Amino acid sequence: MATFRKFIPAVEFHPGITLAEKLQEMRMSIKEFALRTSKPEKTIHAVIGGSSSVTSDMAVAFENVTKIPAHFWLNLQKGYDEYVARRKREMQLESDYAWACLFPVSEMTDLGWLPTADTKEKTAHAMFSFFQVSTAKAWQDYYMNQQLKVAFRISLNGINDPYATSAWLRRGEIQASEMTVEEFSDKTLREAIPAMKALCAEQPENFAEALQEMCAAAGVKLVYTEGLQNAPINGATRWLKDTPCIQMSGRLNRNDRFWFTFFHELGHILLHGKKDIFLEDINYPDRQTKKEEEANAFASRTLLPQAAEKEIAKAGDYSADAIRRYAEKYKTHPGIIAGRLQHKGLIPKEGYADLFEAVVLFR
């Protein structure tokens, strides 16, 4: 099948130029033409000078005097207006290229988030399309100035690299939009926690996909988004309309850290409602310390209850074999206990590598 592409001329002329040429051909003055068309002389001057457009009413009047169909004049005006709009847009895109380059364009392209672009205009177009905005100002208003708080409730103004961070968050939104999940149920989500803990303890090869399925059944969108170099963010939680979304970067590629981050984000969903956005391990102006502490406590209690932690501390045996026994007793993964003991400073950071498992979300 043949493909037809619209021809866009390099330049279009204002219909006033054609009118001036026609009047010269007719040997008619502007004053006479204005009289014959019942239009103010200054209006005809404005059309010929290119500062005024040919309206439908004018086109019909011009037709009667010039014997050139009204649609010809209107098409000339339409073509010129489109040309002006395109030129204005092209000039804006040229300047917006500098804005687009504030983002990690090469990294985003390599990850497949952006199409390969070989011109400045295409690069800017790709970035606008990615963020679903039409101008750099629109991005600024949305992500930095909180002009639409109902959709994006925090400002990225003040963090080290708001451009990379916003790109990472936007990628998560795109991924989430492609997912279908059940209607959110607080009850179903809470009931799924034991199965999630069992998945943590077993750590099967397909745990990441299995966890997504468990979340989806409870109405939660869990997305894994490759991290960007200048966006050192481990996870984020927010509500996209009426659906909670957990976004994880996989930067913390050790299983104890992965699971703590996951249950931390889950805690935000269960404890803190729909109004906030939470970004983990990154400082931002709207960070709410109390809610972060509550989510930390939720993750800690879920992975290893306080009573179990006290019993392990009381026993005082922190050998690798003992940690494995504790894990079996409390139905968790040895890495969870080892990570907790390291965090508490009860065992050294080195020497327990065999108790942890690597988490590889992206291959």
* Band of pLDDT at residue 2, cut at 50, 70 and 90: very low
For 149-162, the pLDDT digits (tens) are: 434 445 676 677 88
Element (H, E) at 190: helix 186-202
Spell out a b/e string for 177-213, using b for 16 or more CB atoms within 10 Å of the CB, else e.
Answer: eeeebeebeeeebeebeeebbebbbebeeebbeebbe
Q: What is the mean pLDDT of residues 161-173?
A: 93
Alpha-carbon distance values, 50 to 16, 20, 44, 53, 81 (Å): 6, 11, 10, 7, 11
- Which tokens in the block code for residue 213? 């399925």
Nearest by Cα to 323 from 306, 307, 310, 336: 336
Name the pTM for this structure: 0.76
pLDDT at 285: 54
For 176-188, the pLDDT digits (tens) are: 999 999 999 999 9
Q: What is the mean pLDDT of residues 298-312?
A: 94
